[in-house]
Amino acid sequence: MHSASWRAATVLASVLLVGTMAACGNSDTGGGGTKDDGKITMGFSQVGAESGWRTANTTSIKESATAAGIELKFDDAQQKQENQIKAIRNYIQQKVDVIAFSPVVESGWDTVLKEAKDAGIPVILTDRSVDSADKTLYKTFLGSDFVKEGKLAGEWLVEQKKTATGPVNIVELQGNTGAAPANDRKKGFGEAIAANPNLKIIASQPGDFTRAGGKQVMEQFLKANKQIDVLFAHNDDMGLGALEAITAAGKVPGKDITIITVDAVKDGMQALADGKFNFIAECSPLLGPQLMDLAKKVHAGETVPARIETEETTFTQEQAKEALPNRKY
Ligand code: GYE
């Protein structure tokens, strides 16, 4: 019921957005813009380039800005919150029309968000959320339900291991410390596997959402733990890095160790189709078109839904084989 109502909200949000786009379509001022040239300027602060997901997300944002006629100022924060805060302050100084960003961590944004609000610049949270108590500091949050992704991953495992009579040892590769998808995927997965007391997380460490991080932490896990049955990696890239460590340890990924990841980028889907991964919960990086629609709307002073959720699915090995030829990212 929860997911059905979210779906309805998402559909409703899309309908409203399409309506706005149509309404703005013929306007030279870009939806009630106050700038001389009528063009909306967006300042976007990106987390970094840590994963295949992030690369696809950046491409989506850049291409959609061009398609929507929005002038994009783009900054790569290299996974550092201080760089994001600096970029946002620059955008405020430059008096951009809209600020959008994907917060590298959840906490510590109140001051800079307040500065944007005081300057009258609307902020759109993209992909990841913040934990600010004051919800008026931003207009909306566009992105996935990360708890749900973790839950879907955990539920699949519960089903796979329902006949297990002894302990099932799970290791977990977390995203960067303090990031919404790391916190939420951990939570959702943990809640789902609680259904079977045989399923135990024996080690859990951040691998920073990168291949190098995934490889390095998996090496440590393999050294420290004799029996590892399952790996849950918070994204494909860490899972892909872990494959190298697993193979080097003389184990067969996808067989000796069941591997579950999140994202479903092309390389992850290939590993799944090849039998090296066992299950992926999808997380869509293609947020650009919706983000640009939202920017036009908030710039025009229209009310937008406080939360817009991305539609996602899951993939088994068979489903990955089918989906792979048409996968765009
Ligand atoms: O899953 C991971 C990326 O915030 C949803 O960040 C995003 C996550 C994604 O580095 O691959």
**Whether residue 271 sits in one domain with residue 157:** yes
Ligand 1, CB within 6 Å, residue ranges: 50-51, 53-54, 127-128, 181, 209, 235, 237, 262-263, 283
State the distance from the centre of ligand 1 to the C-alpha of 181, rounded, in angstroms: 7
54 Cα: distance to centroid of ligand 1 (angstroms): 6
* 53 Cα–ligand 1 center, Å: 6
**pTM of the entire predicted model:** 0.89
Kindly state whether residue 27 falls inside one of the protein's structural domains: no
Q: Pocket of ligand 1, candidates 54, 58, 79: which has the most ligand atoms within 8 Å of its Cβ, to mutate?
A: 54
Half-sphere exposure of 130 (CA within 13 A, CB side): 25
Residue-wise pLDDT for 80-112, tens only, equals 999 999 999 999 999 999 999 999 999 999 999
Whether residues 257 and 161 share a domain: the answer is yes
Give me ligand 1 centre to Cα 115, in Å: 27
Q: Are residues 49 and 107 in the same domain?
A: yes
Evaluate whether residue 126 is within a structural domain.
Answer: yes
Query: How would you write the pLDDT of the chain (329 residues) with one tens digit per residue?
Result: 344 444 444 444 444 444 444 333 333 333 334 445 789 999 999 999 999 999 999 999 999 999 999 999 999 999 999 999 999 999 999 999 999 999 999 999 999 999 999 999 999 999 999 999 999 999 999 999 999 999 999 999 999 999 998 999 999 999 999 999 999 999 999 999 999 999 999 999 999 999 999 999 999 999 999 999 999 999 999 999 999 999 999 999 999 999 999 999 999 999 999 999 999 999 999 999 999 999 999 999 999 999 999 999 999 999 999 999 999 89
Residues 62 and 172 in one domain: no
Are 188 and 200 part of one and the same domain? yes
**pLDDT tens across 67-79, in order?**
999 999 999 999 9
Domain of residue 132, residue span: 41-144+285-311
**Amino acid identity, residue 143?**
G
